[in-house]
Amino acid sequence: MRTHFQQSLTEVSALLVEMSHLVAQAVAEASEALRTADGHRAEQVISGDSRIDAFQAEVEERAIELLARESPVARDLRMVVSALQLAASLERAGDLARHVAELARRRYPELAVPAPARATVTEMGQLAHTLVSQAGQALADQDIEAAARLAVLDDSLDALHVKVFTIAREELTDPGQAVDLTLLSRYFERIGDHAVSIGRRVEYLVSGTLHKQGAVEESHEVTVGGGQP
């Protein structure tokens, strides 16, 4: 027989998985709005972000209720705390998708991404979407191998991020375009980091071992704008 605790935790997990679908969709839609200069689509991503925020609030509320009512300890306790952290990562990834959409809307009806960088930024959007989708799937399936593969996928996203900086340096002439492009590339790169961070938590929930969180973040974040040292 399942305990009441397990049942509540399953409900919280289901909320997180549903939240991951919303975030993945927001990333896909924001990328598409950016690629096609679609103001209406951008608008929908922006207004839809409050739904993602509401999911975070609900996960937080349920997790706190669970802590208060069941007083879990050991692994159960760490699972509830992890749920809070997963919701925070997803919420933040949703914000970043919204930022992409805001930039697309701001430049509408122009394309926000300058021509030399379009293919690369489109690829970044696709990879960021894949990362969030697969993080959500790893969470749903409690699949530790799928979770571990996210870091490899994120390396490809980081490589594109660095490539965008090279394009900005070598192929753009307008510093204003470089500003937009840098922001967009950074947003996608950070979405990937959050997916990796979700993957690490899934690995932890399944295996009971967590890589040091700071180290996780650091090893996956690209922080300098490339070019000569």
Binding site for a copy of itself (CB under 8 A): 49-50, 52-54, 56-57, 60, 64, 67-68, 71, 73-74, 77-78, 81, 84-85, 88, 91, 95, 98-99, 102-103, 106-108, 165, 168-169, 172-183, 186, 212-215, 217-218, 221, 223-227, 229
With b meaning 16 or more CB within 10 Å and e meaning fewer, what string describes 210-225? eeeeeebeeebbbeeb
What is the nearest approach in angstroms of a copy of itself to the Cβ of residue 32? 18
Q: Which is nearer to a copy of itself, 7 or 109 (CB)?
A: 109
Q: Which is nearer to a copy of itself, 24 or 181 (CB)?
A: 181
What is the nearest approach in angstroms of a copy of itself to the Cβ of residue 16? 16
What is the nearest approach in angstroms of a copy of itself to the Cβ of residue 99? 4
Burial of 189 (0-12, 13-18, 19+ CB in 10 A): buried
What is the nearest approach in angstroms of a copy of itself to the Cβ of residue 134? 24
What is the nearest approach in angstroms of a copy of itself to the Cβ of residue 87? 10
Q: Which is nearer to a copy of itself, 80 or 146 (CB)?
A: 80
Q: How far is CA 207 from CA 84, 182, 194, in A?
A: 18, 37, 20
Compute how many other C-beta atoms are within 10 angstroms of the C-beta atom of residue 132.
Answer: 30
Amino acid identity of residue 146, one-letter, is: A
Q: Which is nearer to a copy of itself, 67 or 148 (CB)?
A: 67
Query: Do residues 51 and 26 lie in contact, with contact meaning Cβ atoms separated by under 8 Å?
Result: no
- Closest by CA to 185, choosing from 131, 128, 109, is 128
